[in-house]
Structure formats: structure tokens, C-alpha cells
Chains A and B, each alone.
Chain A
Amino acid sequence: MKLYFFILFVLLFSFPAYGEDVKSVSSGRLRLIDISMDALFSGGWSTVNDNTLQNIQGGGHDPRKRGFTVQNVELSLTGAVDPYLKGEAHIVYFNDPLTGETRTELEEVFITTLSLPYGLQLEAGHFFTEFGRINPRHPHQWHWQDQPVINTRFFGPDGMRGPGFRLGWLMPLPWFSELHIGIQNANGETMASFLASEEFFDERPIGNRPFVKQEVKALKDLVHLIKMDNSLDLAEDITAKIGISGLYGPNATGGNGQTIIYGADLVLKWRPAEQVRGWPFLILESEIMKRDYKSATYLYGSDPENVIDLQEETLKDWGFYAQILYGFMPRWAAGLRYEYATGSGESIDGRNNDPFRDDRSRISPLLTWMLTEFSRVRIQYNYDHADHLPDEEAHSVWLGIEFMYGVHPAHSF
């Protein structure tokens, strides 16, 4: 631990970063906070009832009610802290579709360094874990209206995030290559596959195992991340990005419970130089990930008739999604997503009955209409095939509207 702090200290304070007088621009203004608001609403219907929808549309910002869902209303506040740091905060509001209760989430709040040497960048605060493609991105940056099934299974309803720090290194190579290492708290409802929380396990116990509260005793009781991204321009109009990610940390099943998650992601984009307002385009995205959830032994009960005695077992799950989105004419895009998830090692009541571990596939065609960069309407059909469903299948249609106002959004890759 001491060593971590020592490295941090050296990096932060041994290199001067120079701020200089601001050149007088014809009319300057003091930019304090850039504010933006993004809202996602949806309406739709499904062949399964609302209770079942909570499982098959398991993302916290997925459309998940017959009728309407307030998926995600995000307030973003960003700004320069000083010449060395940039600050960012994202606060999310949504309504629980079943109870109507308003929920608030501190989604992210962190600082990013601007001037560390040697291609280094440090982020510290509370933030999304940089695993794969979908997890670190906010719901309004996703092309589809719901999060992939495998993300819901591994990272819970609201994505994996927590307090900690992360160091990114843009490596001195001829192509774009970025290495991330990170460390975050393992506990809390947004750390589903790790120490999680009792409330989370009441709703979605992994493998139906009981929750065991644990103390942080050593550095290994936190979650550790390693991620590497590489990007190449394959042609002037085709760019590829390939990432590999790994996570390691303790889990909620007891003393020697451990989780490892690893995965690979690929993004391929075609954007011809001759475009009309960004059209046409073709985006191919895919992620595959696997989780080894080593559950600890568990023994409980004073009454010899009612003893719970669970053996140590590693529950293995994996899954992927692959999606293609084609912007075929200005303002319009059509897409298709396919997903699959499965596993091995039994849940306590059988894997087939476990909505978050059973064999499942989903096909989702999508049609998007973008009025401008700031608003869009999407219609999506989901065909679900899942072992735990009574008829093993479900059909759902979701129509969503999104609008944003405030500071201009960044065109990130």
C-alpha cells in the first residue's frame, strides 16, 4: 500500500506542469461549469409481465415495464479545476418503474490529471470501471436502449463503478496503445460480482449463494483492473479498436471467495470522408467476457435438521454480444444485435431457474431516427430465449426518445 502512495506522490509532485497567462481572446468569459442534461424515456410492451421483465430487462436503465419507463435523466457537470486537473460529475435520476419512486445515483465524480509526463493520466474519485466497451460508457452513449445481458449478469443493473483511482498510460508506440491499471473498493451494490451488498444479494444472489459480510484487511480485498486498448486506422475511413480487460477481487461468498473477470472487445468503424452531416457510417461492436466466481464453503445452522452446508465451487459464466449499426441515410440508422450467455456450475436452485445464470440468447433489431445530434427516437424489438422463462421465450417492443441540452457533446470514438 505504502508503495502505491509513494508512486502516486512521485508522479504527482515531481514534475512541474506549467500554466501560463491566458492570451487575450477578443472577448473572454469565465467558464466555470459546463452543464448538460440528457434524458432517456421509453414506452413499450412485452409478452411477459412486469415482474419477469425486471429479470430479462435487468439493467437499471433498461426499458422494463409494460407502459412507460423513465430510464435515465443525467445531469453532467464538468470543468477545469486548475491548470492541472479537470473535474467531472454525473448525477442520475430515474423512477423505479414498479413503485414510481424517484431514485438518485451518484454515477460518477472524479478528477483527471491534464499534465502528467510520459503519457500518464490519473483519474481519482468515484467512476465506472474501465472494463470493456459498454461498462465505462453512460447509457446515452449506447446505441441500443438496453445494456447487454452479459453486462447485467457480471456488473449488475447500474454498471460496475466505485471509488478508487486509475492510471492510464498512452504508450510510446507508433500506434494508439493505452494501458490502464486501476484499483477500486470491492463493496457496494455497484460491485455485483465482488463484495457487493446485502441488498443486492437479496435481489440477485449470485448462484443463489448466501451473502457473507467481509472486512477489508489487505490490498487484495479491493478490486484490481488491468486493461489494454489498441487502435489502428486500417484505411483512411476505417478505424479499429481492440481491447482486453481483466478484473480480480474478493467476492461476497465468504473468506476465500474470489472473482476473476476477463474479456475482449472490438470496435470497427467505417466513416467515409465524403459525408453529409456524418452519414453514411457503419459501426461494428462486439464484446466477449468470462467470469470465474469461486464461491467459498459455507456452513450455517445450530439446528442439526436445518444445516446449510455448501461446498467450495467455481461458477463459470460467459457471454457475448455482437452488433452492427448502419447509418444508411442522413438522420437514419438501422442495426441488429445478437447476444448469448451461458455458464457451468450449479446455482443452488439449479442454473436453469436462475434468471442471471441460465442459457439465454437475445436478438434485437433497432431503427434510429436522429433529428439532430441532440435528439433521437429509437424503436427496438427484443426476441428473448431464456431457460428460466415459463415459455422459454419473450417478445418485447420498446420505443424510446432521448434529448439532451447544454454543452456540446464530445464526438468520442
Chain B
Amino acid sequence: MLKRIIFTLLLLLRLINPAFAEVNIVATLPWIGSIVREIGGDKVNITVLVKPNQDPHYIEAKPSMILEASKADMLIYNGLDLEVGYLPLIINSSRNYRIQAGRKENLDCSQYIDAIERPQRDVDRSMGDIHPFGNPHYHLSPENIRKVADGIADTLSELDSAHAEFYRKNLISFYERLDDKQKQWGSKSLKDKKFIAYHKYFEYLASEFGFQIIGYIEQKPGIPPSAGHIERLIETIKNSRPDALITTGYYGKRGVEFLSQKTGIRGVVIPHDVGADDIKDWFTLMDRVLESLE
């Protein structure tokens, strides 16, 4: 008798599998949330795990993140090991078969981009916080974002085929807006500018907009600089007179301020993600980033 009751209960539970009105999407970073919003519009419900002013390298897997992941129809993330400290744990603990690796609902945006700085030789942690699959900070690259948006639209159309046309249409208007913006951004005179950066954060931007990063305050990624390195850097800055010392909101501000005082070169804190400083979407983020570099 008891067996029969349990079996019936389990069958019933199986039947209550609600078809979703909106696709429930969990995105790791704010900029991903912004692109998904452009494509998904009101057909998706987006939860972003990382706060705009947080350092994306040092995130702890909070139980509330696991809860969000457990309810997700789809998980969209940056990839290239940027989320390696917390995302595997969230995926495992979520008990959500939909977002497990290898499924379409587990969307690694980096699969659509051309990663730069892929190490050409063996790397290990003596070189600092090395990303073995290439530089993961590709979100400040319009060309790569174009491909990511296409990938997101493709996947959404496939998973939620009832609204495929809607997603395609949104992708086209996203492209139209991007084309306009790229014309505007292209007119910025960043070519031939030289910068010293705190972290390897602006490489995609530099290669697309033609400026140069001639040195780093961090000697090795993720490792605070030594006094000797700073001394040498002061010499470099004095000799090569870069246009600015640049860093992001989450760290390096003090280092940049210090060097700026020592050398008289201006320090610039560049917003690094959507949501910080009232930046409402990815386009505004790009506007502000490029403005602050001018």
C-alpha cells in the first residue's frame, strides 16, 4: 500500500512540470544580463549573480546563487575560466539537469569569440592568475559582443522556438543599433594613444580601437606589484609619457593614484561593467569606457 502511495506521489510530481511563460535565465555577469535583455526582451526573466561593482575573479558561491541556479531554464556565463572559483560549485549544487555542462542550456559565451592572449607555451601559477584559454575580459569588444549576441539569439530561438522570430527580430535591431554606435565610436581619436593599465583588462578594446598598452602595474595577473616593479614602472612612465594610467573600479585604484602622484600622469578609473555608476546597458558602458579614455 505504502509503495503504491509513494509511486503515485512521484508520478504526480512528475506531471506538475510547468511550461514556462518566460525563460528563466541566470547570467553570471551584469553585461551578459544586458545583452540577454536586448535579445530576450519581455520573453525572458533574468537574474544576474555578480553585482556590478564586484571583482568577477573573487566571488563566493552564496546559497542564494545556488537557489537561483536550481530554478534556471538556462545559464549564461563568460567562460575562459573567469568563473572557475564559484560556477562549477553552483552548477553541481543546483541539482538542475538543464544547466549541466554539455547541454545547450549551459551557454558559455566565450565559445563564440576569438580569444586573444592564448598562452603559446605551458603556463602555471608561478605566472600569477593565468587564464589558460586566453584573456577572459572580452566584453569591451564590440566585434566579439556581436558574435555573442548572435549565439545567444540562436540558442534562445532553439530552446524557446515559439518565440524564435521575436528573438531574431531583436537581434536585427541590436545589430542596427550596434552599427550606428560603431560608427560613432570609430570616430573617437584613440589611435596612437598609450596607456599603462593595472590589470590585463583592456586588451580587446586596445586591439579594436587601435591604442597601445605599454605596461602593467600588476607584474603578474592577480598578484599585487612588488616595490621594485613599481620603481621600474615609474621610470618607464617618466620616459614614455603615456596618456593615462587606467584601472577598473574594483581594484588598482590606490596603485594608480600613487603612480599618478609620482609621475604627474592622470589616473583614470574606467567603469568595468553594466550597473556601476548608473550605467543602464552595454551600449552605455561602451560609451562611458571610450569617453573616459579620450
Q: Which residues of A contact B (CB under 8 A)?
A: 3, 6-7, 10-11, 14-15, 17-27, 80, 83, 86, 112-121, 168, 170, 175-176, 178, 229, 231-233, 236, 239, 241, 269, 271, 273-278, 330, 372-374, 405, 408-413
- Residue from B13, B55, B63, B93 having most chain A Cβ neighbours under 10 A: B63
Residues of B within 8 A of A408 (CB): 81, 84-85
Determine the distance from Cα of A21 to Cα of B102 in the docked complex, in whole angstroms.
6
- From B19-27, B103-111, B176-184, B206-214, give the one contacting chain A: B103-111
A-B contact pairs, 26 of them (CB 8 A): A14-B10, A17-B97, A18-B103, A19-B103, A20-B102, A25-B108, A114-B95, A114-B100, A115-B95, A118-B13, A121-B93, A170-B94, A233-B64, A239-B62, A239-B63, A239-B64, A274-B53, A274-B54, A277-B57, A277-B58, A277-B222, A372-B125, A405-B125, A410-B89, A412-B60, A413-B60
- CB-contacts of B60-89 with A (<8 A): 60-64, 66-67, 70, 81, 84-86, 88-89
Determine the distance from Cα of A114 to Cα of B111 in the docked complex, in whole angstroms.
24
- CB-contacts of B213-253 with A (<8 A): 222-224, 249-251
Contact assessment for A273 and B10 in the assembled complex, using a CB-CB cutoff below 8 Å: no
Residue of B10, B97, B111 near A26 (CB, 8 A) is B111
In this complex, what residue of A is CB-closest to B90?
A: A410
Contact assessment for B100 and A83 in the assembled complex, using a CB-CB cutoff below 8 Å: yes
Residue of A7, A18, A114, A413 near B63 (CB, 8 A) is A413
B175 at the interface (CB under 8 A from A): no
Closest-CB distance, A55 to chain B (whole angstroms): 36
The 6 closest A-B pairs by CB, nearest first: A115-B97, A231-B63, A176-B63, A278-B58, A410-B89, A411-B60
In this complex, what residue of A is CB-closest to B254?
A: A276
B290 at the interface (CB under 8 A from A): no
Q: Total number of A-B contacts with CB less than 8 angstroms?
A: 137
Contact assessment for B250 and A114 in the assembled complex, using a CB-CB cutoff below 8 Å: no
Contact assessment for A119 and B103 in the assembled complex, using a CB-CB cutoff below 8 Å: no
Determine the distance from Cα of A115 to Cα of B89 in the docked complex, in whole angstroms.
14
B293 at the interface (CB under 8 A from A): no
Residues of B within 8 A of A373 (CB): 85
B2 at the interface (CB under 8 A from A): yes
B14 at the interface (CB under 8 A from A): yes
In this complex, what residue of A is CB-closest to B104?
A: A20
Contact assessment for A271 and B60 in the assembled complex, using a CB-CB cutoff below 8 Å: yes
Contact of A7 with B6 at beta-carbon distance under 8 Å, contacts A120-B95, A413-B63 already known:
yes
Contact assessment for A23 and B111 in the assembled complex, using a CB-CB cutoff below 8 Å: yes
Contact assessment for A18 and B97 in the assembled complex, using a CB-CB cutoff below 8 Å: yes
Determine the distance from Cα of A231 to Cα of B68 in the docked complex, in whole angstroms.
13
Q: Which residues of B contact A (CB under 8 A)?
A: 2-3, 6-7, 10, 13-14, 51-55, 57-64, 66-67, 70, 81, 84-86, 88-89, 92-95, 97, 100-104, 108, 110-111, 115, 125, 133, 222-224, 249-251
Residues of B within 8 A of A120 (CB): 95
Contact of A275 with B85 at beta-carbon distance under 8 Å, contacts A26-B115, A176-B64, A410-B61 already known:
no
Residues of B within 8 A of A23 (CB): 102, 104, 108, 111
Residue of A114, A372, A405, A410 near B223 (CB, 8 A) is A372
Determine the distance from Cα of A14 to Cα of B84 in the docked complex, in whole angstroms.
33
Residues of B within 8 A of A113 (CB): 95
Contact of A275 with B111 at beta-carbon distance under 8 Å, contacts A10-B7, A411-B89 already known:
no
Contact assessment for A411 and B85 in the assembled complex, using a CB-CB cutoff below 8 Å: yes
Residues of A within 8 A of B7 (CB): 10
Determine the distance from Cα of A231 to Cα of B67 in the docked complex, in whole angstroms.
10
In this complex, what residue of A is CB-closest to B87?
A: A410
Residues of A within 8 A of B63 (CB): 176, 178, 229, 231, 239, 241, 413
Contact assessment for B67 and A170 in the assembled complex, using a CB-CB cutoff below 8 Å: yes
Determine the distance from Cα of A18 to Cα of B106 in the docked complex, in whole angstroms.
13
Residue of B52, B102, B224, B250 near A83 (CB, 8 A) is B102
Contact assessment for A275 and B250 in the assembled complex, using a CB-CB cutoff below 8 Å: yes
Contact assessment for B62 and A170 in the assembled complex, using a CB-CB cutoff below 8 Å: no
Residues of B within 8 A of A121 (CB): 93, 95
Determine the distance from Cα of A170 to Cα of B250 in the docked complex, in whole angstroms.
33
Contact of A10 with B55 at beta-carbon distance under 8 Å, contacts A114-B97, A115-B100 already known:
no
Given contacts A236-B51, A275-B54, A411-B61, 14 further A-B pairs with CB under 8 A are A22-B102, A24-B111, A114-B92, A170-B95, A175-B64, A233-B62, A276-B55, A277-B55, A277-B57, A372-B222, A411-B58, A412-B89, A413-B62, A413-B63
Contact assessment for B2 and A3 in the assembled complex, using a CB-CB cutoff below 8 Å: yes
Residues of B within 8 A of A278 (CB): 55, 58
Residues of A within 8 A of B108 (CB): 23, 25
Contact assessment for B60 and A19 in the assembled complex, using a CB-CB cutoff below 8 Å: no
Determine the distance from Cα of A17 to Cα of B98 in the docked complex, in whole angstroms.
9
Residues of B within 8 A of A236 (CB): 51
Residues of B within 8 A of A6 (CB): 3, 6
Residues of B within 8 A of A175 (CB): 64, 67
Closest-CB distance, B56 to chain A (whole angstroms): 11
Contact of A413 with B61 at beta-carbon distance under 8 Å, contacts A22-B102, A23-B104 already known:
yes
Closest-CB distance, A104 to chain B (whole angstroms): 27
Determine the distance from Cα of A10 to Cα of B12 in the docked complex, in whole angstroms.
13
Contact assessment for A274 and B250 in the assembled complex, using a CB-CB cutoff below 8 Å: yes
Contact assessment for A86 and B92 in the assembled complex, using a CB-CB cutoff below 8 Å: yes
Determine the distance from Cα of A121 to Cα of B2 in the docked complex, in whole angstroms.
23
Determine the distance from Cα of A113 to Cα of B97 in the docked complex, in whole angstroms.
10
Determine the distance from Cα of A17 to Cα of B95 in the docked complex, in whole angstroms.
11
Residue of A114, A178, A273, A276 near B51 (CB, 8 A) is A273
Determine the distance from Cα of A6 to Cα of B1 in the docked complex, in whole angstroms.
13
Closest-CB distance, B5 to chain A (whole angstroms): 11
Closest-CB distance, B41 to chain A (whole angstroms): 25
Determine the distance from Cα of A390 to Cα of B83 in the docked complex, in whole angstroms.
53
Residues of A within 8 A of B97 (CB): 17-18, 114-115, 117
Residues of B within 8 A of A114 (CB): 92, 95, 97, 100
Contact of A330 with B95 at beta-carbon distance under 8 Å, contacts A170-B67, A176-B67, A410-B88 already known:
no
Residues of B within 8 A of A86 (CB): 92
Contact assessment for B51 and A231 in the assembled complex, using a CB-CB cutoff below 8 Å: no
Residues of B within 8 A of A274 (CB): 53-54, 249-250
Contact assessment for B14 and A117 in the assembled complex, using a CB-CB cutoff below 8 Å: yes
Closest-CB distance, A254 to chain B (whole angstroms): 33
Determine the distance from Cα of A57 to Cα of B133 in the docked complex, in whole angstroms.
45
Closest-CB distance, A99 to chain B (whole angstroms): 35
